[in-house]
Chains A and B, each alone.
Chain A
Amino acid sequence: MYSKKLLEEFTNPKNVGIIENADGVGQLGNPADGDVITIYIKVKNGILEDVKFKAFGCAAAIATSSMVTQMAKGRTIEEAMHITKEDVAEALGGLPPGKMDCSNFAPDTLRVAIEDYQKKNKV
C-alpha cells in the first residue's frame, strides 16, 4: 500500500506542466508499457531555475515525478544529476516493494533532460 505522503503528493502534484523554450527536455517510457514521464528544465548559471513535468503512469510515477522536480529546483546541475531513487522514495515516506522500479523512472528522466541541456550547450 502507498504511504500517506505519497498519496498526498499524487493527489496534489507540484510543477505539473510544460516549459516553453525549455533548455532541456527528457522523456522516458512508452505508452505500450503504461508509463511515460516528460521533464522540462530551465537552467541559469548552472542552476535549475525551473523544472516541470508531465506524466502518464501509476500513482508512484506521478508522485515521484512531482517530488523529483521539487528536489531539483534551485539545485546545481551537478547536485540534480545525483538525486537517487532512494532519495525520492525516502522523501515520499517509502514505496511499496513492487513499486521500487517506478521510483527510478523520474530521477532517470531528469538526468535525460539535463543531458539534453548539456548536449545542446556543449557543456
Chain B
Amino acid sequence: MKRIYMDHSATTHVDPKVLEAMLPYFAEKFGNASSLHSYGQEASEALSLSREQVAQTLGAQPTEIIFTSGGTESDNMAIKGAAYMCSSKGRHIITSVIEHPAVLRTCEQLEKEGFEVTYVPVDRDGIVDLQFLEDSIKEETILISIMHANNEIGTIQPITEISKLIEGKGIILHTDAVQSVGKIPTDVNELGVDMLSISSHKIYGPKGVGALYMRDGINILPLLQGGGHERGLRPGTENIPGIVGFAKAMSIAHENLEHDSRHMEHLRDSMIKKICGKIPHAKLNGHEKKRLPNNVNMSFKYVEGESLLMLLDMKGVAVSTGSACSSKSQKASHVLSAIDPGVDYIHGSLRFTLGKENTMEEVDIVVDLLEEAVIKLRQMSPFGEDI
C-alpha cells in the first residue's frame, strides 16, 4: 500500500541534505565545543557557523540565537525566563486562548506562582482579538506571548500589529513561530518581536533541537544552571550534530520559502475546494486566507474525527484530528472550542498538513478516500440519515 503523509505539522522527515550535513558530527568530528584542542575547535566552528546560518534566516544577529532542545523548551525559557527577570516591575502576562500547550501550561504554572495571566480570545476565524488585547494592557504588564501561526487551524496572527501597539511601553513580545518558520516570512525585525521560538523537526530537521531568538538588550533568568554554554542561558554540552542539521534545515527552508509555500498554497486551496465540492456539510476551520500555506483543517458534520482518522490510516493516509471524544478524560480541542464551529461540527475535525513533497495526485487520492470514509461513517451515525 502506498502511504501518503499529510501530517507535517506534527513532524517532518529529515531532508537528505540535512542528514548529510549532520553525519560527520557523530563519529568523526565528535568534539566538545568547549574543549581547547583541535577536536573542540571543529565543534566550536560548526556551532558558530550554525548560529550565523540560523540568525541570517531570521534577519537577526548570531549573538541573539540560543540553541535549545526544541519548541517546548524555547517557549518555557522565554516565558518563565522573562517573567522571573521582570517580576519586580510587574506580574501581568498576556497570551491567547489558542496557544500550544507549551505556552498555555507554562502560563498556568506562572499563575500558580502568583503571576496574573490574561488569555485573549479569538474571533470565529481564529484570529486574536486585537482590541481585547490592547484593552488588557496595564502598568504591570511585562510580557505578551502570542503564537505566530496556530498549529491546529493554521491561522496567522497579527504579530507586527501587536508589536506596533506596544511600542515604547517596555513590554517584551514573544512569539511561538514553531509552525510558521519555513512556511511564511519570519524576519524578527519585520515582526517586531523580542523573542521567537523555533523547532527543527517541523522543518525537515532532526528532532530534539531548536532555538530561541532573543533580541539584544533583552534579559531573562536561565531555567537551568550549569556551565557557561549559550552565554550561560542554556548550559549543557551542545548537541552539535542536531544544531548543524537544524541550521541546514533553516537555510534550505529559507532559500526555498517562496517556491515551497506557493506550491503548498496551490495544493491547499485546491484541496479545500475539492473537499467542499464532493462532501456535503464540510466546513473549513480557521480563516480562509490568513492561514499557513500547508494547513487544511475541516470539520464534517455527524462524523467523529478520530474514527475518520483511523479509517484514513487503514488506507495509508496519515492525518491528525483536534477532536477527541470527551467521554470522561478526553475533550474537544481547545482551539476548536475557541472558534466554536457548532456542536454538530466540533468533534468532526480533521487536520491535513501538507509538505513540500506532496503532489496534486496525492491530494486527489486523499480527497477520494476521505469522501468514502465520511460516507461510511455517516451511514453508521445515528444522525446521519438526514443528509
Contact = CB atoms under 8 A, between A and B. Distances in A.
Contacts of A102: 325, 327
B217 interface: no
Given A2-B310, A10-B310, A11-B311, A36 B383 contact: yes
Interface in A68-118: 98, 101-102, 105
A33 B306 CA distance: 13
B382 A54 contact: yes
Interface in A30-67: 31-38, 54-59, 61-62
A18 to B, nearest CB: 8
Given A11-B314, A34-B323, A57 B332 contact: no
Contacts of A54: 380-382, 384
A16 interface: yes
A10 to B, nearest CB: 6
Contacts of B343: 31-32
Contacts of B324: 34, 58
A59 B380 contact: no
A71 B343 CA distance: 32
Interface residues of A, number: 28
Interface string B364-380: 00000000000001011
Contact of A33 (B302, B325, B344): B325
B347 A34 contact: yes
B131 interface: no
Interface in B289-335: 302-304, 306-307, 310-311, 314, 323-330, 332
Given A31-B343, A31-B383, A34-B347, A59 B306 contact: yes
Contacts of A11: 311, 314
Given A58-B304, A61-B325, A101-B327, A36 B310 contact: no
B326 A27 contact: no
Residue of A13, A36, A37 with highest tally of chain B CB at under 10 A: A36
Nearest to A65: B380
Contacts of B347: 31, 33-35
Contact of A7 (B310, B380, B383): B310
A29 B380 CA distance: 15
Contact of A38 (B314, B330, B382): B382
Contact of A36 (B328, B332, B346, B382): B382
A57 B379 contact: no
Contacts of A37: 382
Contact of A56 (B302, B314, B346): B302
A58 B328 contact: no
A105 B328 CA distance: 11
Contacts of A35: 304, 325, 327, 347
Given A29-B327, A35-B325, A56 B310 contact: no
B325 A7 contact: no
Contacts of A32: 326, 343, 346
A58 B307 contact: yes
Contacts of A61: 304, 307, 325
Contacts of B346: 32, 34
A105 B346 CA distance: 21
A56 B303 contact: yes
Contacts of B377: 56
Nearest to A56: B381
Nearest to A100: B328
B383 A56 contact: yes
A27 B347 CA distance: 18
B215 to A, nearest CB: 42
Given A35-B327, A98-B330, A62 B383 contact: no
A55 B380 contact: yes
Given A32-B343, A36-B382, A56-B382, A62 B325 contact: no
A62 B380 contact: yes
A62 B328 CA distance: 17
B332 A34 contact: yes
Nearest to A105: B327
A17 to B, nearest CB: 9
B325 to A, nearest CB: 4
B217 to A, nearest CB: 46
A58 B310 CA distance: 9
Contacts of A38: 382
A16 B384 CA distance: 13
Closest 10 CB pairs of A and B: A34-B347, A34-B325, A54-B382, A101-B328, A58-B306, A56-B381, A38-B382, A59-B310, A33-B326, A35-B325
11 contacts: A27-B382, A31-B344, A33-B325, A34-B324, A34-B327, A36-B383, A56-B302, A56-B304, A56-B380, A56-B383, A58-B325
